A and B are shown apart, each in its own frame.
Chain A
Amino acid sequence: MKIRIKFTKTGHMRFIGHLDILRYFQKLMRRAEVDIKYSEGFSPHPVMSFAQPLGLGDTSEGEYVDIEVQSTESSAAMLRRLNEKSCPEIRMLKYVQIADETRRSNAMSNVAAADYQILFRKEAPDESALQAMLAQETLVVKRKTKTKEMETDIRPMILSWELGEEGLFVRLATGSTANCKPDTLIEAYDHFRGVTPPPCACHFHRLEMYACREGLFVPLYQLGEELL
């Protein structure tokens, strides 16, 4: 039986890297006595699949991990058990059963987009610059890979944006086919303005991750069903 868990990573937990979060969940599953499926062999570990790693320093209220269990209680009971054994800054929000389709249906390969709230901590954002930048048809950024520098047009990956009092809200293409991280967007914005920002000028907070179903963006947990 496949289960998808939506969780938060807030506060000081933003300093815990992705691999450490993986280890954290391995231990959490044991503490909460989740009847999870383990890998075979002499070093068994719970089989888990995380969607789209969060950058170190970023927070989120829309993280996902898929697990496989042999048995389970109701969603409400499992959320209670997991949260009891978790630290206050990692909270489980959803525990839903997802279809057992193929191996490819895990949280990682489902993701098509993510919403972010970008908080400007050092100075107010320049709305007209943002507008001018995003009014362009293309927005080419240089990305470094291990061996070479590549140019990518991220404009089509910026699916929507809105500047509010609580920062810049963006929906970005995320996943294996097209992927734009919020810091890439901000780097482009700084480059566009010709500004070198101080360190930690922006805080990135992920709000939700989506799959694409028939042209619509559906939050990942909505692909599953509550267990009653």
Chain B
Amino acid sequence: MSTRKLALSDEILMSVEKPARYIGGEINCVYKKKDEVSIRFAMCFPDVYEIGMSHLGIQILYDMFNSWDDVWCERVYSPWPDLDAVMRREQIPLFALESQEPIREFDFLGITIQYEMCYTNILQVLDLAQIPLWAGERGEDDPIVIGGGPCAYNPEPLAPFFDLFYIGEGETQYAPMMELYKKNREQGGSRQDFLQACAMLPGIYVPSLYTTTYQDDGTIAAFSPTKEGIPARIRKEIVSDVSRTYYPDKPLVPFMQVTQDRVVLEIQRGCIRGCRFCQAGQIYRPVRERSLDFLKEKAIRMLESTGCGEISLSSLSSSDYSQLKELVYFLIEETQKRHVNISLPSLRIDAFSLDVMNKIQDVKKSSLTFAPEAGTQRMRDVINKGLTEEDILHGAGQAFRGGWSKVKLYFMLGQPGETDEDVMGIARLAERIAEEYYEIPKEERNGKCQITSSTSFFVPKPFTPFQWAPMNTAEEFLRKAYLVKDTMRAQKNQKSLRYHYHEADVTMLEGVLARGDRRIAPVILRAYQKGCLFDSWNEYFDDRKWKEAFEEEGISPDFYTIRERSLEEILPWDFIDCGVTKRFLKQEYERAMAGIVTPNCRMRCSGCGAAVFGGGVCFENTN
């Protein structure tokens, strides 16, 4: 390994920020002899190393691929703008971290698409790798470019750049796909032959085999396969038994500090809650829990193999994991023995969580987190967030008496049906929490309290009940943010209240990309060509260039953001079947507008459609 030659010279590495991003060789990274494998797979997270290395999904797939003898999976991330410039100038092809060899020599380039604001980085990766950006221009020797992750649930804005998309969880269809690839190669088949064969695999979408036509008003007239026998609908893939599947014993341990410098224990997939704004809550249905034994064993193995000083639990709603108490107390014991920290996601505040927080955190320094998402009960019913004001005030009160004095609150502005009353409700809720604190006698409390509220702007996402809803305009978003701010300032306890809000421009763009169709692809390319990159980084986001790109391509962002879609409209992602039916989503949208709450999956099945996968919470109490 020490003889491994780096792709970049010392001069280059010493001239860029954080050269450790580009050298590979991390603890637990996998080396194979390239002549002894038949498939080389490059796994990409299209953002900077520190972000990409913090992602659990890639660790799982990296472990899975490399557990197969004939596949060698390596990693690649977006070069930071300083190195990007050098690579363009010197025409250095983008390389994989392990072998340091060019990506364009690989069989596959798999790109995980976790958020919309990384789309220009996808083009950067292809471009630096010297792979043609348009899938249609790729030749027999170019890697097969695969997209996956949550944004693959609306792949259309990126469709022309990918050879195929993998819809759903990666653990199931890569093995058959690798077999198909080897078979196709042995038989002397072409790239096209392989893609067509892949299109028959469950969960695989080959965009070049489908076509879209549009009506005069710009909405979709039809979306259909161009060849006979190609499936018209693609159902997402899921792992049915999440306790008998791939999960790393030896996660990679980076040399440099990354965003999440810890081992991650994914306790379950999916969420029973059904918040109407939340995409993850729908597309990862049904809830499937990992067994306690599986989690205990993985926790110990990962701590031993990495030496990490922290372990965290990951899931959409950890309080709903049925054996949480047992797991957490087990971890507390193990971690204290090993001098390791536990970081817990925000739990529902009750006696159990307060006890746990007392054991693992410094009460004076740590804060409580609530995500009411909306300021009034009326609005929380609209979005089906089953957290009441009473829950919050009672939870906060208990915590305040236990010594806590800091609270963080997360809200969204601009959800469907929101009125100014609801907006001001955000400030009022913060005020009421502060009042709860100051009701405690002075000698029993710990100085001033600090209530920090943050709002983000709501972006309607595919496969949610709000997928038809219009977004607010940027002006409306900002007006609402100022309204929250002014209301905060007019209150008695304003000195104990803090308020943060996000930028509006970047949210508008996210709105276009989230619900866009294939006509957005040329806009993304044009923005990239104008220099847009790392759009999720404030210091690099350039709204003016994006606006120019839309204008030059003759595309109106408003069509995708502030337009209300009719319930009959064909949506760009309708051909994907995530289990949850469009009928259910419509019903949920209507219930939202009527302010009717829908019970969670454990209280009562609402017939969303996810039972079609034959497992998880849908069958918990049946045999």
Known: A12-B23, A15-B19, A43-B341. A26 touches B307 (CB 8 A): yes
B304 nearest in chain A by CB position: A31
The answer to whether A15 touches B305 (Cβ under 8 A) is no
The answer to whether A23 touches B6 (Cβ under 8 A) is no
Report the minimal beta-carbon distance from B138 to chain A, rounded to whole angstroms: 33
0 or 1 for each of A30-67: is its CB under 8 Å from B? (1 = yes) = 11100000100111111000000000110000000000
30 contacts between A and B (CB under 8 A): A12-B25, A15-B23, A16-B20, A16-B255, A17-B256, A19-B257, A20-B20, A20-B257, A27-B307, A27-B309, A28-B307, A30-B303, A31-B27, A31-B307, A38-B339, A42-B341, A42-B360, A42-B361, A44-B339, A44-B341, A45-B339, A46-B339, A56-B14, A57-B13, A57-B14, A87-B27, A198-B11, A199-B14, A199-B15, A203-B10
Interface residue A81 (Cβ < 8 Å from any Cβ of B): no
Q: Report how far A219 CA is from B131 CA in the complex, Å.
A: 54
Report the minimal beta-carbon distance from A118 to chain B, rounded to whole angstroms: 15
Interface residue B240 (Cβ < 8 Å from any Cβ of A): no
- List which B1-48 residues lie within 8 A (CB) of chain A: 1-2, 4, 6, 10-11, 13-15, 19-20, 23, 25, 27
The answer to whether A88 touches B308 (Cβ under 8 A) is no
The answer to whether A17 touches B20 (Cβ under 8 A) is yes
A41 nearest in chain B by CB position: B362
Interface residue B66 (Cβ < 8 Å from any Cβ of A): no
The answer to whether B14 touches A30 (Cβ under 8 A) is no
The answer to whether B2 touches A88 (Cβ under 8 A) is yes
The answer to whether A15 touches B11 (Cβ under 8 A) is no
The answer to whether B1 touches A15 (Cβ under 8 A) is no
The answer to whether B14 touches A24 (Cβ under 8 A) is no
For the complex with contacts A11-B2, A12-B4, 14 further pairs of A-B residues with Cβ separation under 8 Å are A12-B6, A12-B23, A13-B255, A15-B13, A15-B19, A23-B257, A26-B307, A26-B309, A27-B308, A30-B340, A41-B362, A43-B309, A46-B339, A89-B25
Interface residue B423 (Cβ < 8 Å from any Cβ of A): no
Known: A20-B257, A30-B309, A199-B15. A89 touches B10 (CB 8 A): no
Residues on the A chain within 8 Å of B304, using CB: 31
Residues on the A chain within 8 Å of B361, using CB: 42
- List which B313-368 residues lie within 8 A (CB) of chain A: 338-341, 360-362
Residues on the B chain within 8 Å of A12, using CB: 2, 4, 6, 23, 25
The answer to whether A30 touches B2 (Cβ under 8 A) is no
B338 nearest in chain A by CB position: A30
Residues on the A chain within 8 Å of B27, using CB: 27, 31, 87
Our pick among B10, B303, B306, B309 for the contact of A45 (Cβ within 8 Å) is: B309
Q: Report how far A26 CA is from B255 CA in the complex, Å.
A: 11
Residues on the B chain within 8 Å of A17, using CB: 20, 256
Interface residue A181 (Cβ < 8 Å from any Cβ of B): no
Total B residues in contact with A, Cβ cutoff 8 Å: 33
Q: Report how far A13 CA is from B15 CA in the complex, Å.
A: 16
Q: Report how far A12 CA is from B7 CA in the complex, Å.
A: 12
Report the minimal beta-carbon distance from A132 to chain B, rounded to whole angstroms: 29
Residues on the A chain within 8 Å of B303, using CB: 30
B100 nearest in chain A by CB position: A12
A30 nearest in chain B by CB position: B307
Interface residue A124 (Cβ < 8 Å from any Cβ of B): no
Interface residue B253 (Cβ < 8 Å from any Cβ of A): yes
Residues on the A chain within 8 Å of B309, using CB: 26-27, 30, 43, 45
Interface centre among B2, B304, B338, B362 (most CB of A within 10 A): B2
Interface residue A2 (Cβ < 8 Å from any Cβ of B): no
A44 nearest in chain B by CB position: B339
Report the minimal beta-carbon distance from B304 to chain A, rounded to whole angstroms: 7
The answer to whether B305 touches A16 (Cβ under 8 A) is no
The answer to whether B256 touches A16 (Cβ under 8 A) is yes
Residues on the B chain within 8 Å of A27, using CB: 27, 253, 306-309
Q: Report how far A11 CA is from B14 CA in the complex, Å.
A: 14
B19 nearest in chain A by CB position: A15
Residues on the B chain within 8 Å of A38, using CB: 339
Residues on the A chain within 8 Å of B19, using CB: 15, 56
Interface residue A10 (Cβ < 8 Å from any Cβ of B): yes
- List which B210-263 residues lie within 8 A (CB) of chain A: 253, 255-257, 261
Interface residue A29 (Cβ < 8 Å from any Cβ of B): yes
Q: Report how far A13 CA is from B6 CA in the complex, Å.
A: 12
Interface residue A85 (Cβ < 8 Å from any Cβ of B): yes
Residues on the B chain within 8 Å of A32, using CB: 307
Residues on the A chain within 8 Å of B307, using CB: 26-32, 85
Report the minimal beta-carbon distance from B428 to chain A, rounded to whole angstroms: 34
Interface residue A200 (Cβ < 8 Å from any Cβ of B): yes
Our pick among B10, B256, B341 for the contact of A57 (Cβ within 8 Å) is: B10
The answer to whether A31 touches B1 (Cβ under 8 A) is no
Report the minimal beta-carbon distance from A5 to chain B, rounded to whole angstroms: 16
0 or 1 for each of B247-283: is its CB under 8 Å from A? (1 = yes) = 0000001011100010000000000000000000000
The answer to whether A89 touches B362 (Cβ under 8 A) is no
Our pick among B11, B256, B305 for the contact of A20 (Cβ within 8 Å) is: B256
Report the minimal beta-carbon distance from A196 to chain B, rounded to whole angstroms: 15
Report the minimal beta-carbon distance from B14 to chain A, rounded to whole angstroms: 5
Q: Report how far A85 CA is from B28 CA in the complex, Å.
A: 10
Report the minimal beta-carbon distance from B2 to chain A, rounded to whole angstroms: 5
0 or 1 for each of B585-598: is its CB under 8 Å from A? (1 = yes) = 00000000000000
Q: Report how far A12 CA is from B97 CA in the complex, Å.
A: 12
Residues on the B chain within 8 Å of A29, using CB: 307
The answer to whether A42 touches B362 (Cβ under 8 A) is yes
Report the minimal beta-carbon distance from A197 to chain B, rounded to whole angstroms: 12
Q: Report how far A108 CA is from B40 CA in the complex, Å.
A: 46
Residues on the A chain within 8 Å of B306, using CB: 27, 31
Q: Report how far A29 CA is from B338 CA in the complex, Å.
A: 11
Residues on the B chain within 8 Å of A42, using CB: 341, 360-362
Q: Report how far A26 CA is from B341 CA in the complex, Å.
A: 13
B2 nearest in chain A by CB position: A11
A199 nearest in chain B by CB position: B11
Report the minimal beta-carbon distance from A29 to chain B, rounded to whole angstroms: 7
A36 nearest in chain B by CB position: B339
The answer to whether A200 touches B14 (Cβ under 8 A) is yes
Query: Would you list the 10 A-B pairs with minimal beta carbon distance, nearest first?
Result: A27-B307, A30-B307, A31-B307, A15-B19, A44-B339, A38-B339, A42-B362, A11-B2, A12-B23, A16-B255
The answer to whether A31 touches B305 (Cβ under 8 A) is yes
Q: Report how far A23 CA is from B25 CA in the complex, Å.
A: 16
Residues on the A chain within 8 Å of B20, using CB: 15-17, 20
Q: Report how far A10 CA is from B361 CA in the complex, Å.
A: 39
Interface centre among B23, B27, B304, B307 (most CB of A within 10 A): B307
Q: Report how far A224 CA is from B304 CA in the complex, Å.
A: 30
